Amino acid sequence: MRPLAMATVSLAFLALAACGREAALPTDEAVLSGPEYSLAASLSGTADSMAARQRSTMDLILRAFHNALLENDDPAARALLAASRAYADSGRAAALAGDREAARRYFQAAHDKLFEAIVLVLPDAAERTGAAVDSALARIEARLDTAAAPRIRAVLALVREIRARADSALAAGDEGRALGMNVRAMEMLRTMHRHLQRPGGPGLPGDQGANPPPGDSLPPPPGGMRPRRPG
């Protein structure tokens, strides 16, 4: 695998699993099972299939980004990737030192820089991914109809909230942040059945949490670059 491909694949895992403070979904103390779990698994499969068809999963977005960057080099995007890797390296060092909070902040910065790079090369990625989430939500809600599925509906409410925040970020000109939120929303739909088996546990992959730390609370990695302050 080429170095760029290896780097973007590695950063994909950071983008989906680096952050520890994740938004909590309301759950009962008991593990979800029975009809609602079966329905959640089926709906997650629906979202997964739609995301694959519309090329809006994180791995497919990264593959398109990698291919586009190989065809038309973009020095600004490569600089953002280098910054993302520097933050990721700092995050791994902090994690090895036992400083989980610093690691989370560094990984969040790596996550932000990666999405900033992607939207430079794929400028419609945020809009396309948001539209894919909306399509999946509509299909899922149509299938739910009047079914009593309170925990599934709690997931959908949170996804709608994240989509609204993504649209606000996009309207403010922050395409990278909008893409990150839309990817997070899609991952919630694709994995909600697994999350609902872990009530009270850690959140979903890619969930940044409701209150990410301010950028200037984080010391810069080598090179002096700081993460962008969340809007």
- Please report whether residue 117 resides in a domain: yes
d(CA 37, CA 47): 15
The reply to whether 155 falls in a domain is yes
Residue-wise pLDDT for 130-176, tens only, equals 999 999 999 998 888 877 788 888 889 999 999 999 999 999 999 99
**Domain extent for 73:** 3-217
Angle, helices 150-171 vs 175-195, to 10°: value is 170
What proportion of the chain, given as a percentage, has pLDDT over 90?
31
Amino acid at site 165: R
Q: Does the residue 222 lie in any domain?
A: no
Is the pTM value of this prediction over 0.75? no
The answer to which of 81-85, 97-101, 115-119, 202-206 has the lowest mean pLDDT is: 202-206
Cα 52 versus chain centre, distance: 16
* Reported confidence tier of residue 229, pLDDT bands at 50, 70, 90: very low
Domain count, the chain: 1
In a domain, 199, yes or no: yes
Q: What is the sign of the dihedral through the CA atoms of 107, 18, 111 and 11?
A: positive
